[in-house]
Amino acid sequence: MANPEFQYPHAAQLHPESIVVSAGRPARAAGAPLNVGIELSTSFHNDPAGNLYIRDMGSETTRAFEEALGALEGGYALAFSSGVAATSAVLDALVPAGGAVVAPWTQYSGTSALFAGAEEQGRLTVRWVDMADTDAATKAFDGAALVWIESPGNPMLSVVDLPTLVDVAHRVGAIVVVDSTFNTPMVLTPLGHGVDVVLHSATKYLAGHSDALLGCLVTRNANLERRLRTRRTQSGAMPGALESYLAVRGLRTLAIRMERAQSNAMELAIRLRAHERVTTVRYSGLADDPYHDRTARLHNGFGAMISFQVDGGPDHADAVCHAVRLITHATSLGGVESLIERRAMHALDAARGVPSDLLRLSVGIENVEDLWDDLSNALRH
């Protein structure tokens, strides 16, 4: 569905590690700043095209973030005030009234709640599937307006056969959206596999410091981009300039942060698997993980999220969360700091079959030995 006339906003064939540093900069000129500033204005002098207002056009700061992310993903990016706002825009702009959406049964609970709420209102219907089971999932695609994919899945860390799902979805006329928050463009660029729209909760890895609330959508399709942009304007979901500035600043170190976090995650996953009080480790970097081969074939890395289960049930899992000292017991993920929580403490996750003793660990960039000392001490409780 990509429009060949919808040119990408970067011409140089740079590696991602260079793009995160160089994209979204002001034009080079003598005396010009290296960085786009924080443009704190809601109104602008009118021009012949009409009245200019921040909700419609965004700030230079927001456009710098969009340019950088678009260059990374290989498309055009639209920033939103949150990941949920971006998800809402997809449903409102791309799913017709009464249309069917195919979505993973187990995924980010906020997305599931949003879809379920829209279904209760009669806005659309949802077909819940195990998206990692390719044969079973694709049987539900016929007649769907939208196929929503989250890979790796949150919090079970299942990985989908993306090219096959995209091919089948397009053959039946469905739009494909992938929530690639866990991957970041350093690990996977879904547009290269034919995906129509990529979603990120930029609050997580892209901004990377747990201090900015943003979402974003990226597409190569000019028609989809116009529809999503219009919906952003109509819903007032434009992010603020300060949040956009923090996202740009965070993006500059994305490559090195992901490199360190993934290295830490691999080492911790290996050690957790050998720990006597850990019963199951979910991390596709492990050679015996059921999704290892698929991830190795499609991704450029294994990410920095680990889910694991412990003996002693939910009480021991809670005890681990309360006993950590370097790792933080908190929700969210993708920051420089490591975070842990028991996901089944959330009612929707528990109702979707997430094991009561499963801990989701967002691995940060701390020293891996310090992380392991903290985690192994907590597991003794």
- Residues recognised as catalytic: 55, 108, 179, 204
Which residues on adjacent β-strands are paired with residue 360?
A: 307, 341
* Rounded distance between C-alpha atoms, residue 189 and residue 16, angstroms: 10
* Rounded distance between C-alpha atoms, residue 199 and residue 179, angstroms: 5
What are the structure tokens assigned to 313, written together? 């049930």
* Rounded distance between C-alpha atoms, residue 266 and residue 247, angstroms: 26
* Rounded distance between C-alpha atoms, residue 141 and residue 125, angstroms: 13
Residue 162 near residue 149, CB atoms below 8 Å: yes
Residue 62 near residue 41, CB atoms below 8 Å: no
Helix (H, G, I), strand (E, B) or coil at 165: helix
Let me know the angle formed at the C-alpha of 244 by 79 and 63, rounded to the nearest 5 degrees: 60
Q: How many CB atoms lie within 10 A of CB 15?
A: 8
* Rounded distance between C-alpha atoms, residue 41 and residue 24, angstroms: 20
Q: At what angle do helices 109-120 and 83-94 cross, to 10 degrees?
A: 40
Q: How many CB atoms lie within 10 A of CB 138?
A: 21
